[in-house]
Chains A and B, each alone.
Chain A
Amino acid sequence: MNVFQRVAAIPKANAIILPAAIIVALVTQVPLLVTLVLSVVKWIVVRPDLGINFVGLNNYIQIFTSVDFYSIVLNTIALTFFSILCCTVMGIAFAHLLNRRFPGVNLARTILIAPFFVMDATAGIVWKTLLLHPSFGINGLVASWLHVPPTDFLGHYSLLTVVLLVVWQWTPFFVLILLAGFESISEELIDSAKVDGASAFRTLFQIKIPAIATHIEVAVMLGLIFILKTFGLIYVTTAGGPGISSTNLPYIVYRTSFYRWDVGRATAMAIVTVILTLVAITALFGFVRRKTREVEA
């Protein structure tokens, strides 16, 4: 059977999706293959005289034998975990507060979700210069009112400050999803709980939150994907420093690519980042699924 006969033998329904499948494969798999190939070469863009040489797994070995790499992985985990934890808790709290009728509720909702629509770079610069800067920011102003030296947030608490900014920016996203969840709970269910004498506290933790478990799952999954690749906020606020104290995996890939111009090492890091991200997402997905089943049971 030649190629044409094989193509002719493909069921028509499958043939219809073939062009789309080819485009998707070209757009997603070809870059991945190129990245894999580049990760096993030594190629310093600014040193063309050294050429492009095959080095096997040397780039990967150098990454895994670097102490800094483990600190950066820990930074990434800490940044992602604490950001998602705070976003989830605050998302539930704010969504619950906004899930009721009171004058100005729509205005309150709009104000609360506004940070989500501010660009990373803009948010970072505003926070860095107008709010947190010890000389120009509100930070310095408040410190002078209190007659105490201003706190150097981005110098002394860099990772914590990045977490704060990520939480500020992403909590509205969690609120949007969880608010939809709270609004989907039937009034009858809540009324029944009230009739049975359940307190507001008990209603929240034993009825409402379990009822929105799927929404929490979606918010956490999407939050994980987006927060893991935080770049813009770090770029404009701390540049990953001081030292590597606020460097995460995407930022070190950028630094290796555009300061060291080491294509091999940067692509190897990118591959490792993708693998770690997939592992984290799969693990979290399994955990959330188990918890959801337990709650549903």
Chain B
Amino acid sequence: MKKTLILIALALAILGGSALAQSGTTLTIATVNNPDMVIMQKYSAKFTEQTGIALKFVVLPENDLRAKVTEDVGLGAGNYDIVTIGTYDTPFWATNNWIVSLEPLFQGMAADKAKAYDRDDILPPIRSALSKDGQQYAIPFYGESSMLFYRKDLLAAAGIKMPEAPTWDQVYDMAKKLNKPSAGQYGIALRGLPGWGQNMAVFDTLINTFGARWFDMKWNPQFDTPEMKKAWEFYKKIITDAGEPGATTAGYTECLALMSSGKAAMWYDATVSAGTLQGADSKVKGKIGYALAPTVKKSNAGWLWAWSLAIEASSKNKDAAFKFLTWATSKDYIQLIGDNVGWAQVPPGTRVSTYNNPKYKAAADFATMTLNAIKNANYDKPTVDPVPYKGVQYVSIPEFQGLGEEVAQELAAYLSGNKSLEDALAASQAAALRVAKEGGYLK
């Protein structure tokens, strides 16, 4: 009996010691300054209340965040425990051993906690995009695809019926009809602002669906193909004939403002924008319809993206960090935000259960379309012809940040009339060839 008591006391001491050790822990989290992350930061005090683990947030815009955290891991500074990265970053960060595999941590989870967390509830395409060699390296905080938003009232007034899966030619014709710049109404809003996460995100889905690709299976650049030329010509044609003026200064934020202020009849962009368009501040609340990403040759043209949380390899608080990851991406967190902020504002695109929730379905008329768009996105086979890379709106190689930026600038130069199509395509081809050679990809 005495022996048993001593053992129990010892076990309690160890558990208590470990809890005390964690209660003094402070986690440093680098995250992006979008609305969902800001909400997470606001409600993170609940996590500290429950666990005693303090949190320190470093919140930055997307480009600055990527530069800051890449610098941190690449140069071995080890300033952050948890980093917010996307589906693009996760595979090569895992290859570089900058983040840890979450498998051992999931395996170490107590059975009741694992059951409550329900990892299998995470949408399979997103989970697959955040894994490498069958190991998951990041947990999605919110996920998205791309879809077409349109003004139901304007289309009805013009006698136009939007198909559920329109083609780009149909979208062009509709945009032309609805384009009335003198009345302050543009046919369609499309991103033209140069940046691999700006105009290239949208335009890459056009490249894919037009039957073009960045590289062939031997990593030869493919900017000199007729399909690529057609995609570039079409993007310029639709923006010039029916898009917003000054497109090369219109990024995601500007296009969202055009659509939510009632200045655009259609907008092709991230599914996550639906919440904002149907928000209280939106002038077009209740007037928005949704369609799948427009297509040409390839169906399933929508992109796939998830802002996700991962643990830096250099973190000394991996267990505490994992606790935060599983708290912020749990069903309970979604319930917390739904109850306190509103069901239309819960992080979308991560869990099947969110889309089965009647409260979410009632609050978010875009739920079904978002889920379909994410399920349809073809992350592993994004193009008509086979390619040696994954990723829809990017090429999953570390050098894409630089290459995507260069091609994005060439596209903007072509859109603004500063460069001819031939010159812009030749410069893009040269940049892609340089990357293929320098990166050791070219066979």
Residues of chain A touching chain B, judged by Cβ–Cβ distance below 8 Å, are: 44-50, 128-129, 132-136, 140, 144, 147, 149-150, 152-156, 158, 239-245, 255-256, 258-262
**What distance in Å separates the Cβ of A135 from its nearest Cβ neighbour in chain B?**
6
Residues of B within 8 Å of A258, CB to CB, are: 67
Q: Are A242 and B413 in contact (CB under 8 A)?
A: yes
Say yes or no: A135 contacts B245, CB within 8 Å.
yes
Judged by a CB distance under 8 angstroms, whether B108 is at the interface is no
B401 close to A260 (CB less than 8 A): yes
Inter-subunit contact B184/A154 (CB<8 Å): no
- Report whether B70 and A261 are in contact in the complex, using a CB–CB cutoff of 8 Å: yes
Write out, one digit per residue, whether chain B residues 401-430 have a CB within 8 A of any chain A CB (1) or not (0): 110010001101101111100001001000
Q: Say if the beta carbon of B96 comes within 8 Å of chain A.
A: yes
A82 to chain B, nearest CB (A): 19
| Contacting residues, chain B, for A240 (C-beta < 8 A) | 409
Chain B residues, CB < 8 A from A48: 74, 96
Say yes or no: B195 contacts A239, CB within 8 Å.
Answer: yes
B247 engages A261 (CB within 8 Å): no
A241 and B70 contact, CB distance less than 8 A:
no
Contact B402 A262 (CB under 8 A): yes
B399 near A134 (CB under 8 angstroms)? no
Let me know if B249 and A128 touch, CB within 8 A: yes
Q: Is B194 an interface residue (CB 8 A)?
A: yes
Q: Which of A134, A147, A259 contacts B245 (CB 8 A)?
A: A134
B16 within 8 A of A: no
Q: Is B181 an interface residue (CB 8 A)?
A: yes
| Most chain A CB inside 10 Å of its own CB: which residue of B246, B413, B424, B439 | B246
Task: For the A-B complex with A158-B418, A243-B418, A256-B402 known, give 18 more contacts whose Cβ atoms are closer than 8 Å.
Answer: A44-B398, A50-B440, A129-B254, A135-B245, A140-B245, A149-B181, A149-B245, A154-B248, A154-B249, A155-B247, A155-B249, A155-B412, A241-B409, A242-B415, A242-B416, A243-B419, A243-B424, A258-B67
Interface of A is mostly: loop
- Contact status B399-A44, CB under 8 Å: yes
Is there an interface contact between B440 and A245, defined as CB atoms closer than 8 Å? no
> What are 27 A-B pairs at a CB distance below 8 A?
A45-B74, A46-B70, A46-B398, A46-B399, A48-B74, A132-B249, A134-B244, A136-B257, A147-B182, A152-B248, A152-B249, A155-B246, A155-B415, A155-B416, A158-B418, A239-B195, A240-B409, A241-B248, A242-B416, A243-B427, A255-B402, A256-B402, A259-B402, A260-B399, A261-B401, A261-B402, A262-B402
A-side contacts of B193, CB under 8 Å? 239
Chain A proximity of B235: nearest CB distance (Å): 14
Which residues from chain B contact A136 at a C-beta distance below 8 Å?
254, 257
- Let me know if B245 and A150 touch, CB within 8 A: yes
Tell me the bound Cα distance from A49 to B94 in angstroms.
12
Q: Contacts of B402 on A, CB cut-off 8 Å?
A: 255-256, 259-262
Q: Does any Cβ of A come within 8 Å of B228's Cβ?
A: no
Pick the 5 closest A-B CB pairs, nearest first: A243-B413, A260-B402, A134-B246, A46-B398, A242-B412
Whether A261 contacts B74 by the Cβ 8 Å rule is yes
- A158 and B249 CA atoms in complex are apart in Å by 11
CB-nearest residue of chain A relative to B398? Answer: A46
Please give, as numbers and ranges, the residues of chain A lying within 8 Å of B427 by CB-CB distance: 243
A149 surroundings in chain B (CB, below 8 A): 181, 245
Which B residues from 293 to 348 make CB contacts under 8 A with A? none
B169-200 vs A, CB cutoff 8 Å, 1 = contact: the mask equals 00000000000011010100000011110000
Interface core residue of A44, A129, A239, A255 (most chain B CB under 10 Å): A239
Q: Does B5 contact A (CB under 8 A)?
A: no
Q: How far is the CA of A245 from the CA of B424 in the complex (A)?
A: 13
B258 within 8 A of A: yes
